[in-house]
Amino acid sequence: MATLTADFPHFIFSFVVRDLGVTLDQELTFARHLNSLNRACYYQLVHSFVASRFDYCSCLYTGLPATRLSCLDHVLCSAAHLISRLPKYDHISSYMHDTLHWLPASQRIEYRVAALVWRCLLGLSC
């Protein structure tokens, strides 16, 4: 590597590159790629289970008091903690909003109803 740097001083060499979705390091251990794949699969697994169960018939919950919906917020927070691997008592709401792009239960339900109405108005919903 030192000889390449000396021969080509205007180039910046990287120890890790990503090509076609595969992360390669200079020793070809695939450690970073496998860690990234593990993290992505874990996220997809948790998100698909929680989101599908949460969104099923969620339109029926429109108008319920916040105290009744708080248990659903706890489920979303627990799923976010699993995905983020943050400590149990860390604040998770900013991570849910900024990184995962998840809404709190009441806002998520309102969004689902608004999306359903919009699709109906466009004639795209059954």
Write the pLDDT tens digit of every residue in 11-38: 877 788 888 888 888 788 888 888 888 8
pLDDT at 102: 92
pLDDT at 126: 60
pTM for the whole thing? 0.68
pLDDT at 121: 92
d(CA 42, CA 30): 18
Is 76:105 a contact under the CB 8 Å cutoff? yes
pLDDT at 1: 58
pLDDT at 2: 66
pLDDT at 125: 67
Question: Strands 16-19 and 22-25, how do they pair?
Answer: antiparallel
pLDDT at 45: 87
With a CB cutoff of 8 Å and minimum separation 6, the contacts of 119 are: 125
pLDDT at 88: 79
Amino acid type, 125 = S
Reading the block at residue 1, the tokens are: 């590597």
User: Which stretches in the chain have pLDDT values below 50?
Assistant: none
